[in-house]
Chain A
Amino acid sequence: MAKKLPSTDVVVVGLGWAGSIIANELADTGLNVIGFERGPWRDTATDFNLASATDELRYNRRQELMLRTKQNTCTMRNKESETALPMRVWGSFHPGNGTGGAGNHWAGITFRFQPTEFRLHSYLTERYGKELPAELTLQDWGTTWEEMEPHYDAFERLAGVSGKAGNLNGTIVEGGNPFEGARSKEYPNPPTAQTYAPTLFAEAAKNLGYKPFPVPSALASRAYTNQLGVTMGPCTFCGFCTNYGCGNYSKASAIVNVLPALIRKPNFTAKTNSEVLKVTMDSTGTRATGIIYVDSSGQEWEQPAEIVVVAAFIFENVRLMLLSGVGEPYNPITNTGTTGRNYAYQTANSVKMFFNDKNFNPYIGGGAIGMGIDEFNNDNFDHSGLGFVGGGSTRVTPIGAAPIDSRPTPPGTPAWGAKWKKATVDNYLSTMSIGCEASSYSTRNNYLSLDPNYKDPHGRPLLRITFDFPENDLKMAQYVTNKVVEIAKTMNPREMVPAPRKGPWANTSYQSSHIVGGFIMGADPKNSSVNKHLQVWGVPNLFVVGSSAFPQNPGYNPTGTVGALAFKAADAIKRLYLQRPGEMISV
């Protein structure tokens, strides 16, 4: 039986990027805010000590920053007719744990989505009409670029993003991404320096008439102090970046950029190692009354609150809603319900290139240090007659070739022994890869639900993922990979290995942690769960924030948009909800 605690103004579930941003914004208004985090408190100075942070065995092989699957995992299947099985090790993606969440081990690539993304269904219907593949359930976001732009800007300033504007107030700027939406301000920091492989790629792309630009990076190019007064150090290109915490305060994260300022505020409390079990609702189901959480001793507590903000990783956002009975669970057979609907992923493609005469010094790098082009992304090219929509961000971002996992050997090399060792030595310095992080479009059959068979240690059903790559996305993957091969050829490698994404979806190797949907935003409560303020339809004091709100995933990394949505929700609560608590939009 849960013991009841005194009520507070706001509870925030999850202290990653989204939860920390909202908690900080609301604490600034004077509200009493309690943040709940199922994992430990993480802090750069103690957890990512520079003398031990660069430990590949610990952080990459043994995944120290990831959620333990014994605490919570997902079950997976490709289609409705299969019985889902639990993921006992993480493979396809990496859910994080502890304060900072997955925003500790991310790569730092911080794109904005394009203006057309926020009305994707309308836009593609206008352009392609009946040609649009019938299997897709694309939707508009119920918001606009103009409404999103200030919040993208706020997140870029918070995270100290380094980059080069390509479209400043409608004027195309040389050297930036010409396909981006009109931005009101330049990036807060100039682009980082580039290593050899991205430089070579950018030259090749430019020679083919493309417009290469520095990948927008939350790894600081210089010392930077953000609007909360927190300082980042310049990135050293140490090469221990994706899957690691940053010891230099260079990779933006909630623990570097937000929590040091937030935790000093007397009206904010963080409760760590405290797993939220459910959102409690009043008898009418139209008001959240607080949350139930369990501490590390197994004691359950009820924390009543006036406002409940759920800002965990996408899987837990959706599962908490299903467990709390918020919204009708989605049913793909009847095509009814909204909770669990429009689940999508990311379609990761690559072309690996082996050279004889190059030295890329691949151990130098960072998760977001690189050059990219956007000619084959989303709808930046004409899809008429191609039989698919969507595309990907093409780029070279060498994250750092650490000694255990970086064994770039050409096809035909034995997996062990003297020949393998020799091939490693021959190829380690002279191999590079072009990636294409491509869109993942939602369909009727891809969705999230509670698993009927498997439970977590608290006896609650695990989340079940039903997903496979849609035909549309597999065609797109082949197309964009062919385009990347054309660029790669002009760079004259000795050998190339194109790897377009193929089905079926599996958990055997890492693809991407860019998982979206399941509690999506929109303009209509019939096919969306939250309105454009991230406010749950019909439960006005409950907000669910994160990539769970994306109706589909474009060919970009999601974190910039997760951060912008967090600022957007906080802004709506401050500006509208606190003035007049209730539905901010009525339909």
Chain B
Amino acid sequence: MKTLLSLSAMALLGLTVQAAHAGTGADSYNLVEKGRYLAVVGDCTACHTVPGKAPFSGGVAIETPFGKLVGANITPDPDTGLGHWTFDDFQKVMSEGHSKGGKRLYGAMPFTAYTKVRKEDNLALWAYLQTIEPVNNPVETNQLPFPFNVRTSLIGWNMLNFTPGEFTPNAEKTPQWNRGAYLVEGLGHCGTCHTPKNLIGGDKNDQFLAGSNLQGWIAPDITANAHSGIGQWSNEEIVEYLKTGANRFDIASGPMAEAVENSTQHWTDEDLMAVAVYLKDGQPAAAAPQPVAADTPAMVAGKAIYADRCSACHVPNGEGVKNLFPKLAAAPLVNSTDPTSLIRVVLAGSRAGGTEAAPTGPAMPSFAWNLSDDNIADVLTYVRNTWGNAAPAVSVGEVSDLRGDLHP
């Protein structure tokens, strides 16, 4: 019976792939290659491959504010993967967030973005996924506590947070802009991390890409806002950052380091430039807030701590060293209203990702053991309000709260 089922699934698959090729006469090489690239663009591996384990065999735990979800096995294994799936099953996941059999998926599978992916691209992705080595690896994807583990709750969630439908190009913009929009809003799913979330974890779409707090990190504002966003970055500098993990402003660390290592460094230069053109377009530059006055006690103490503990790497004027030590002056993360990431890297340290172009993977050490909460609040207040930066002062309470969460 099992064999029969598999055979029929294979037959269906054969039909589907053939349909995709109807009229071209080509073999599947080009389609699979396209799918492989798109799988990299979508960074499927981030949630579906445990480092060191077989590709796409699932098992990566994703911490959400509601509990733990685990990336599924998406290899063609008939028992524990997608072996019995058809392309239509896959298309439903991408476009509607419905798994095979109509089961609703949680938003950790970013179908709210993937719904924008064109069907022809999903066909390529699916063709590629069929070429993956099948791996028998059972994964319990839903490990949420009650009541979040009850999938019927997702009906309401989808009504509030999900607008299905393929990407529709903006006829007033260039093809390059539209390609960028398609990648950022769709398969690239940038908003999954960078768009602020509402109370039930849905995107606040009116603040698209304006920065969000997740897993104790800030995914910073990546809009064209010149103060808190990347308005001061040139298109080339955005491309350089996504290609190498570093540019003169910043070095990717935390979840973004993984995104660069697994995904964006492998994007084509044309796609990265399209992303840059799209990100830089249209956002009005917000008026920068007033910095905290340099003579307040926190700023005076912070200046001394910075000279002693920070300036050796980030250099006295906050300019940093390209590819090694991030620039603090005019950095979106530093000017972000929410100082979570800054507090986190000082308390727990952080390691940048290594890429072909910048292989070192330098690290920020933890200062939890020899800077007090007061010290950290002062030095971060100083960093956030010097060299042209301006952002709210960091309170001792914010530092001690995160210290309690992190146990650094």
Binding site for B on A (CB under 8 A): 44-46, 49-52, 223, 225, 228-234, 236, 238, 247-249, 256, 260-261, 264
CB-CB nearest in chain B for A237: B312
Please count the residue pairs between chain A and chain B whose beta carbons lie under 8 angstroms apart in the complex: 62
Q: Which 7 A-B pairs have the closest CB atoms?
A: A45-B363, A51-B365, A231-B323, A260-B359, A49-B365, A236-B312, A223-B321
Among A49, A231, A234, A256, the one with the most B-chain Cβ atoms within 10 Å of its Cβ is: A231
| Interchain Cβ contacts under 8 Å between A and B, 9 examples | A45-B362, A49-B349, A51-B367, A51-B369, A225-B323, A230-B359, A233-B325, A248-B313, A264-B356
| Interface flag for B354 (CB, 8 Å) | yes
Given contacts A51-B370, A260-B354, whether A231 and B361 have CB atoms under 8 Å apart is: no
Q: With contacts A51-B366, A223-B324 known, what are 5 further pairs, Cβ within 8 A?
A: A45-B351, A49-B366, A50-B312, A231-B358, A249-B360
Determine the distance from Cα of A49 to Cα of B367 in the docked complex, in whole angstroms. Answer: 10
Shortest C-beta distance, A235 to chain B (Å), equals 10
Given contacts A231-B321, A233-B325, A236-B312, whether A249 and B362 have CB atoms under 8 Å apart is: yes
Assess whether A230 is in contact with B360, with CB atoms less than 8 Å apart: yes
CB-CB under 8 A from A228, the residues of chain B are: 359
Shortest C-beta distance, B134 to chain A (Å), equals 24
Determine the distance from Cα of A232 to Cα of B324 in the docked complex, in whole angstroms. Answer: 8
Assess whether A223 is in contact with B322, with CB atoms less than 8 Å apart: yes
Chain A facing B: main interface SS: loop
Assess whether B354 is in contact with A52, with CB atoms less than 8 Å apart: no
Interface residue range, chain B: 20 to 34
CB-CB under 8 A from A50, the residues of chain B are: 312-313, 365
Shortest C-beta distance, B327 to chain A (Å), equals 12
Determine the distance from Cα of A264 to Cα of B358 in the docked complex, in whole angstroms. Answer: 11
Determine the distance from Cα of A256 to Cα of B362 in the docked complex, in whole angstroms. Answer: 10
Shortest C-beta distance, A56 to chain B (Å), equals 16
Assess whether A238 is in contact with B312, with CB atoms less than 8 Å apart: yes
Assess whether A234 is in contact with B321, with CB atoms less than 8 Å apart: yes
Determine the distance from Cα of A233 to Cα of B323 in the docked complex, in whole angstroms. Answer: 9
| Interface flag for B294 (CB, 8 Å) | no
| Interface flag for B357 (CB, 8 Å) | yes
Determine the distance from Cα of A234 to Cα of B324 in the docked complex, in whole angstroms. Answer: 10
CB-CB under 8 A from A233, the residues of chain B are: 313, 321, 324-325
CB-CB under 8 A from A256, the residues of chain B are: 360
CB-CB under 8 A from A231, the residues of chain B are: 321-324, 358, 360
CB-CB nearest in chain B for A264: B359
Assess whether A248 is in contact with B359, with CB atoms less than 8 Å apart: no
Determine the distance from Cα of A49 to Cα of B369 in the docked complex, in whole angstroms. Answer: 13
Interface string of B319-354 (1 = CB under 8 A from A): 001111100000000000000000000000101001
Assess whether B361 is in contact with A260, with CB atoms less than 8 Å apart: yes
CB-CB under 8 A from B366, the residues of chain A are: 49, 51
Assess whether B358 is in contact with A229, with CB atoms less than 8 Å apart: yes
Shortest C-beta distance, A283 to chain B (Å), equals 41
Determine the distance from Cα of A50 to Cα of B311 in the docked complex, in whole angstroms. Answer: 12
CB-CB under 8 A from B361, the residues of chain A are: 45, 260
Shortest C-beta distance, B24 to chain A (Å), equals 33
Interface string of B90-107 (1 = CB under 8 A from A): 000000000000000000
CB-CB under 8 A from A264, the residues of chain B are: 354, 356, 359
Partner of A49, one of B321, B356, B363: B363
